[in-house]
Amino acid sequence: MRIVFLLFALITPLTAQDSSIQQVLQQQQAAWNHRDLEGFMSGYWNSPELTFFSTTKTSGWQATLARYQKTYQGEGKEMGRLEFSDLQIEQLAPGAAFVRGNWKLILSDGKTPHGFFTLVFRKFPDGWKIVHDHTSSEQ
């Protein structure tokens, strides 16, 4: 009985962590789909030390927001409908996690740009935040 309790105690925090991180990603997805980039960015660490790698390296929360605005909210741009899938969450240490997954945008013209992402999350007093994002595109 003690072993069962110990196993439950060890598994429960991981499940709670996974759930909290999934909630951040669900909130980001919902914000994106409501064309709310500021809400989407609330999942990121609001710091000059945030890093975002894609076709270029972007450093800082404000620069990352500006990149998203230029790419998806400029004249003639469309944000589309965002979907995340195949999430794999791994605890790296207490208060740190690594997340892999797929992203896809569904655009009004029928195109579906998509790709992979890897995220590093850190737990702060106000919750889990992305501190590093590496996103690739398979267009």
DSSP H helical segments within the chain, as ranges?
2-33, 37-41, 61-72
**What are the pLDDT digits (tens) for 50-60?**
999 999 999 99
Task: Provide the β-strand partners of residue 128.
Answer: 123
Specify the amino acid at residue 57: K
Q: What is the pLDDT of residue 16?
A: 66
Domains and their CATH numbers in the chain: 2-135 (3.10.450.50)
**What are the pLDDT digits (tens) for 77-127?**
899 999 999 999 999 999 999 999 999 999 999 999 999 999 999 999 999
Query: Please, are residues 43 and 24 in contact by the beta-carbon 8 Å criterion?
Result: yes
Distance CA 90, CA 14 (A): 9
Sheet containing 51-53: which strands, arranged edge to edge?
Answer: 57-59, 51-53, 127-135, 114-124, 96-106, 81-93
Band of residue 75 on the pLDDT scale cut at 50, 70, 90: confident
